[in-house]
């Protein structure tokens, strides 16, 4: 299994609605590592690593969650995994 990294910048009303906490909760059900954090410009940044199929399913789970409706756009970038994460965390 080749690990890769999925980097997503979410725009919309994604701050102040429990977005990061929902993403962290969802991450527990997937074999992924990474982080989610608010950006000063109002976007939310998500960086996750794992098998590509697992990352795609995780992305879909976010879209289908209760906070998915607040997302206006996702800017998605795929990269090789850097293996820099242990677990999944919210960065403040």
What are the residues whose beta carbons fall under 8 Å from the beta carbon of 12, sequence distance 6 or more?
A: 70, 71, 72, 73
38 a catalytic residue: yes
Beta carbons of 46 and 19 less than 8 angstroms apart: no
Calculate the alpha carbon distances from 36 to 4, 12, 20, 31, 39 in Å: 17, 16, 6, 16, 10
Residue 70: alpha-carbon gap to chain centroid: 14
The catalytically annotated residue of 3, 38, 43, 52 is 38
Q: Which of 20, 69, 83, 84 is catalytic?
A: 20
Residues taking part in catalysis: 20, 38
């Amino acid at each position: 299994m080749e690990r890769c990294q999925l980097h997503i910048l979410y725009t919309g009303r994604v701050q102040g609605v429990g977005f990061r906490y929902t993403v962290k909760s969802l991450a527990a059900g997937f074999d992924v590592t990474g982080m989610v954090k608010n950006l000063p410009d109002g976007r939310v940044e998500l960086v996750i690593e794992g098998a590509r199929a697992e990352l795609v399913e995780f992305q879909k789970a976010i879209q289908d969650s209760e906070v998915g409706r607040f997302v206006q756009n996702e800017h998605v970038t795929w990269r090789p995994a850097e293996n820099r994460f242990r677990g999944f965390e919210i960065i403040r």
